[in-house]
Amino acid sequence: MIIDEQADFRSLLMHHVTTHWPDAIISAYDPTAAGHLPDDFSGAGNDLVLLGSRHGDRDGVDVLQRFLKRKNFPPVVYFGTEEDEDAAHRLRPDAHFIRDHINHDSLIVGLTDVLVSRERVASTSSLFVGDMRTGIHPLIKGYRFMRKLGSTEHSGVYLAERESTHLQVVLKVLRQMPGQDYSIGAFDRFLQEYETIAAMDHPNIVRIYDLGVGDNHAHIAMEYLAGGDLRLRMEKGIPERAVIQYIRQIASALSAVHAKGVLHRDLKPGNIMLRKDGSIALIDFGLAKSAKLENEITDKGEIFGTPYYMSPEQGHGSSVDERSDIYSLGVIFYEMLTGKKPFRADTAMGIIYLHGNAPRPLLPPRFAHYQALLNMMLAKSPDDRLQSAAEIEEWL
């Protein structure tokens, strides 16, 4: 079921779904023309509810919250805006997309992941085999599926148990294979991520156990980090002492990454995980690249990363080096201390503009002793920044 007031948007989602699942039965609902759905609406008979953010006089996040509170409601996939992204994320829908930036592959991967995680395997999908009720992972032999953790553009991320050792691991599974024109870049990045992490041996970088390639997938098995990500930790507030411990550990990990000639390029709280013992581990090297590669997988001028944490040069598609990761860590440092992002705007380009032009943010007086360090991490020009992650540890 697709719910949104905008007819063009409903048609767009319908096109994406029926392109992949031609036999799908879809009902479309306009909450402004037909009226808001009643409080006793159960969603019964639907495998998925695709919920847009436009509902006339009613806020989309409010509608999402109403649906998520209902018992036995079908999985809800929310299509929101950049403005309501944080609020929607806190409600934890089954999947979440920005309505103005929908990519067909990432949408289908996301919807399939939701179906699998709720034990609803679409009969028209040939990508999944096995019986989810037995707990056997649908793609990877030798692992017992436990639950979905998330998804990226071409990958699903799952918590699983290795049957031979009963070790809990995270499986990152790529559903497209090389040889298909649309997936060559994704497969190259996937292998690059494996090679990047496998080359690291550092306590603050996620451990990797296995790489496997099958007929229609590839997978990486890596360490399960049970403490959650730094983003969730930040929502609860982090004591100053813990902030400094985290920054030291992240800087140490970056030093090791940079020593291998690799840039992370997507450093953000969601890619920084905690173990049960409270130690930090960097994850998600899917955008990482070797600073010395002669033939880069991505073209110069293409922008990757998350605008809130992008360096000015990365946001404008310019060449980047280790100092770009240092800038991103400076943004995280400020956010951990204050609970706020240093730059906010209504659009991604607005945020990128502020990174390049707005004055560096000032810390509250109680954290003033970190201002000099923060200024050198958040300098607009890379030449004015600290030149290595090791210098961050020295300053602290």
Distances (CA, A) of 33 to 10, 28, 77, 369: 14, 12, 22, 57
CA 274, CA 140: separation in Å to the nearest integer?
26
Is 113 among the domain residues? no
CA 389, CA 257: separation in Å to the nearest integer?
10
pLDDT at 349: 81
Per-residue pLDDT tens for 64-91? 999 999 888 999 999 999 999 999 999 9
Residues that are catalytic: 266
Of 223, 241, 263, the last residue of a domain is 223
Q: Is the pLDDT of residue 305 over 60?
A: no
Same domain, 370 and 288: yes
Is 119 among the domain residues? no
Mean pLDDT value across residues 177-195: 58
How many distinct structural domains can be found in the chain? 3
Question: Cα–Cα–Cα angle for 277, 282, 286, nearest 5°?
Answer: 150
Same domain, 65 and 198: no
Q: For residue 360, what are its two tokens? A: 């560096």
> How many other C-beta atoms lie within 10 A of the C-beta of residue 151?
23
CA 32, CA 228: separation in Å to the nearest integer?
39
Q: Is the pLDDT of residue 112 over 70?
A: yes
Burial 46-68 (b: 16+ CB within 10 A, else e): bbbbbbbbbbeeeebbebbeebe
CA 274, CA 267: separation in Å to the nearest integer?
15
Same domain, 87 and 161: no
With cut-offs at 50, 70 and 90, classify the pLDDT of residue 358.
very high
177 or 20, higher pLDDT: 20
Residue 364 belongs to what domain range?
A: 230-395
300 or 211, higher pLDDT: 211
Quote the mean pLDDT of the chain.
82
Q: Tell me the whole-structure pTM to 2 decimals.
A: 0.61
Judge contact between 385 and 393, C-beta under 8 A. Answer: no
CA 366, CA 347: separation in Å to the nearest integer?
31
pLDDT at 291: 44
Is 180 among the domain residues? yes
Same domain, 252 and 380: yes
| Residue given tokens 């559903």 in the structure block | 175
Q: Is the pLDDT of residue 61 over 70?
A: yes
Residue 205, strand partner residues:
282
Is 11 among the domain residues? yes
Is 268 among the domain residues? yes
Same domain, 49 and 135: no
Q: Is the pLDDT of residue 306 over 80?
A: no
Is 112 among the domain residues? no
Range in 25-34, 186-195, 240-249 with the lowest mean pLDDT: 186-195
Same domain, 16 and 130: no
95 or 138, higher pLDDT: 95
Is 108 among the domain residues? no
Same domain, 179 and 34: no
Nearest to residue 242, comparing CAs of 292, 214, 200, 280?
A: 280
Q: For residue 85, what are its two tokens? A: 């992204």
CATH number of the structural domain spanning residue 372: 1.10.510.10
Mean pLDDT value across residues 3-23: 88
Per-residue pLDDT tens for 214-271? 656 778 888 999 898 898 899 899 999 999 999 999 999 999 989 888 888 888 998 8
With cut-offs at 50, 70 and 90, classify the pLDDT of residue 146.
confident
> How many other C-beta atoms lie within 10 A of the C-beta of residue 149?
16
Q: Is the pLDDT of residue 141 over 80?
A: no
Q: Is the pLDDT of residue 366 over 70?
A: yes
Mean pLDDT value across residues 104-133: 59
Range in 16-25, 190-199, 263-272, 324-333 with the lowest mean pLDDT: 190-199
Judge contact between 250 and 332, C-beta under 8 A. Answer: yes
177 or 299, higher pLDDT: 177
Judge contact between 1 and 27, C-beta under 8 A. Answer: yes
Mean pLDDT value across residues 18-28: 82
Give the highest mean pLDDT range of 40-49, 189-198, 364-373.
364-373
Q: For residue 133, what are its two tokens? A: 């009720």
Range in 38-52, 53-67, 165-179, 238-252 with the lowest mean pLDDT: 165-179
pLDDT at 286: 55
Same domain, 256 and 387: yes
